Amino acid sequence: MASIKLTNLWKHYGDVQAVRGINLDIGHNEFVALVGPSGCGKTTTLRMIAGLEDITGGEIEIGENVVNEVPPKDRDIAMVFQNYALYPHMSVYQNMSFGLKIRKTPKEEIDKRVQMAAEILNISELLERRPAQLSGGQRQRVAMGRAIVRDPVVFLFDEPLSNLDAKLRVQMRTEIKKIHQRVQTTVVYVTHDQVEAMTLADRIVVMNEGVIEQVGTPNEMYSSPKTHFVASFIGSPSMNFMNCQLAKTAGGLAVRLSDDLSLPVPEDRTARYAPYADKEMTFGIRPEHVTEKRPHANGAQQDIDANVNVLEPMGVDTMVFFNLGPTEICARAEPTSVSEVGETMGFTVSMDKMHLIDPSTGAVV
């Protein structure tokens, strides 16, 4: 139970700059997800918070205290490693009680806490087993149980679900959320899976190449990404991007995708985009905002026709790939309304959901 504050945090491994000056405030009992592609410095950041990695520059505060010089054993942090890192020579019970025993907790207290954590995680009947006798999912639970019993000030997770199969992963995701609701603690959760981050976290931190791209709630990240990277990283399937020219028209502005295809910019965005008129820009739109032809909800919708290239049925929706100007994009349509491959189909583009990116800076304008 503590807040965490990272100030201008740097980490070099020789010539490699793994973390390049990140600033982050994590609130008391907040669940924060660090998400980003592999190699972007998530694990390194987490390990610096835990004290397992020396800090090249900057400051880490945990609950008002600067902990740069505090060894891991005195930080009162529990971490769930990607590969679980159970003690193979100890039973599940011993694995879970080890940290408490080291800290000289009374025996009855240890027993009470282990039993309770085992109950939360549904592993009460496994307490006498060795890690080698457990399945992957069970080991995962033990690793979490070992963290829970400690009742630490901060929980760190490093891609805890990445070694589980898809079904178990979804199930454990829900359980982690439940556990956090029950065991209120500050959590920093590292993942490369944006769905995990979206579903679990109070706030998401998107990292790329050692820097933070954006921090925000899951909804903010989805609806108003600040950079091209965040726009492409959050959301599944990911956003469509097209090169375009922002053309001036009689009524205002239009996104010009090719000589014979222009989509007018909604009126309420005209002022915002005006400085970029006549410039080469990147137009971004999510698949769910390009649908089969629908009645218009407001003046911002635009209808277009195109030939269907590929269909990918997903049950609830069907993903339709077609060419918009020179680029192939993906639309999300009602399964009953799609045409056959090669045939023409009508689409409705919700231009009020569009994003415009300045390619020279990568910023969403």
Partner 1 sequence: MSSNEMTGMTTSSGEALQENRVPIWRLRKAAANYIALIPYLAFALFPFYIIAITSIKSKQEINNLGESPFWASGIAVENYTFLYTNTSFFEHWMVNTLIVTTVSTIISVTVGILAAYALARLKFRGVEMFGVAVFITYLVPQTLLFLPLVDVINLIDDFIPIRDTYWSLILTYPTFLIPFVTWLLMGYFRTIPVEVEECAYLDGCSRLGALFKVVLPMAIPGIICAILFSYTLSWNEFLYSLVFIQDEYAKTLSVGVFTELIRGDIYFWGSLMAACLLGTLPIVILYGFLMDYYTSGLTQGAIK
Ligand X SMILES: Nc1ncnc2c1ncn2[C@@H]1O[C@H](COP(=O)(O)OP(=O)(O)O)[C@@H](O)[C@H]1O
Residues binding partner 1 (CB under 8 A): 50-52, 71-73, 75, 77-79, 81, 83-89, 98-99, 102-103, 130-134, 136, 139, 146, 150, 163
Nearer CB in complex with partner 1: 50/345: 50
DSSP 126: G
Residue nearest to ligand X (CB): 43
Q: State the binding partner of 16 from partner 1, ligand X, Mg ion, none, CB within 5 to 8 A by kind.
A: ligand X
Nearer CB in complex with ligand X: 126/187: 187
Nearer CB in complex with ligand X: 47/256: 47
**How near is the Cβ of 256 to Mg ion at its closest, in Å?**
42
Q: State the binding partner of 40 from Mg ion, partner 1, ligand X, none, CB within 5 to 8 A by kind.
A: ligand X
Q: State the binding partner of 137 from partner 1, ligand X, Mg ion, none, CB within 5 to 8 A by kind.
A: none
**How near is the Cβ of 281 to partner 1 at its closest, in Å?**
46
Residue from 240, 250, 235, 48 nearest 154 by CA: 48
Residue nearest to Mg ion (CB): 43
**How near is the Cβ of 93 to ligand X at its closest, in Å?**
31
Residue that has been written with the tokens 């726009």 in this structure: 231
Helix axes 136-150, 166-182, angle to 10 degrees: 10
Please, where are the H alpha helices in the chain?
A: 42-50, 92-102, 107-121, 136-150, 166-182, 194-200, 218-223, 228-233, 270-273
Residues that bind ligand X (CB under 6 A): 13, 16, 18, 36, 38-44
| Total H helices, total E strands in the chain | 9, 21
**How near is the Cβ of 248 to partner 1 at its closest, in Å?**
58
Determine phi and psi for 315, rounding to 5 degrees. Answer: 100, -85
Nearer CB in complex with ligand X: 190/246: 190
Stretch that binds Mg ion, among 43-51, 137-145, 162-170, 262-270 (CB under 5 A): 43-51
Q: Read off the tokens for 232.
A: 């492409």
Residue from 251, 267, 233, 242 nearest 356 by CA: 242
Q: State the binding partner of 72 from partner 1, ligand X, Mg ion, none, CB within 5 to 8 A by kind.
A: partner 1
Return the sign of the alpha-carbon dihedral for residues 8, 84, 97, 169.
Answer: positive
Nearer CB in complex with partner 1: 155/347: 155
Q: Give SS3 for 12.
A: strand
Nearer CB in complex with partner 1: 26/338: 26
Query: CB of 120 within 8 A of CB of 179?
Result: yes
Residue from 181, 176, 166, 99 nearest 141 by CA: 176
Q: How many CA atoms lie within 13 A of 156 on its CB side?
A: 22
For residue 237, cis peptide bond before it (omega within 30 degrees of 0)? yes
Stretch that binds Mg ion, among 41-49, 62-70, 164-172, 354-362 (CB under 5 A): 41-49
Beta-carbon count within 10 A of 268 CB: 10
Among 43, 95, 214, 240, binds Mg ion (CB under 5 A): 43
**How near is the Cβ of 128 to Mg ion at its closest, in Å?**
33
Nearer CB in complex with ligand X: 11/286: 11
What span, in angstroms and rounded, lies between the C-alpha atoms of 180 and 29? 9
Q: State the binding partner of 39 from Mg ion, ligand X, partner 1, none, CB within 5 to 8 A by kind.
A: ligand X
Nearer CB in complex with ligand X: 36/235: 36
Q: Read off the tokens for 204.
A: 């998401």
Binding stretches for Mg ion (CB under 5 A): 43
